[in-house]
Amino acid sequence: MTLGEIINRTCRRVDEDNTDQEIRQKIKDAVNEGYMDLAQIDVIPVKTTVTAVDYKFTPPNDLFRISQIMQNGEIVEWKRRGNDYFSAVNGDLDLYYYKIPNELQDDSDIPEISERNHYLLVLYGAYGWYESEGEFDKAENFLNKYESKKARIKLPGKGNLQFTVIR
């Protein structure tokens, strides 16, 4: 689903006018809040190359969590100290990591989470709408639905993900 479709479905769920820009903005803000929440468990796998010099490397800005680092097909040990990242070897490294998604801006934007979980953004959008309108019983109902479905998301494990290569 695109952001526009998510907003339209949310408007139908809360019985509001999907052409009212103020309503759309409130729902979009809520959807993005839910999106950042979901992206912590329905993470986006990525592969890129970084270079370690003096055993230190700089990860990409959109790093959420490192899965593993490899060099020439061999797993490389690494550690983090504060904001610095270190590897056991120097040179080019294949960095497999999970990225932080970009906020959804345009109606054509598509959330970078599993498509099967896009509907959870409708639930969170409805929660946010009712919360902003002071209808707390309805808000709580949608939040409970969202949390219940979110709890069923399977966390990714090593070896079962396809990584997107970023150059």
Rounded CA separation 89/80 (Å): 14
DSSP assignment, residue 65? E
The answer to whether 92 and 73 have CB atoms below 8 angstroms apart is no
**pLDDT value at position 165?**
52
Could you tell me the two tokens for 124?
A: 């969170």
Range among 42-46, 69-73, 160-164 rated most confident: 69-73
Predicted model pTM? 0.77
Count other Cβ atoms within 10 Å, centred on residue 136. Answer: 11
Tell me the pLDDT band of 31, cut-offs 50, 70 and 90: very high
**pLDDT value at position 41?**
86
Count other Cβ atoms within 10 Å, centred on residue 82. Answer: 5
The answer to whether 56 and 79 have CB atoms below 8 angstroms apart is no
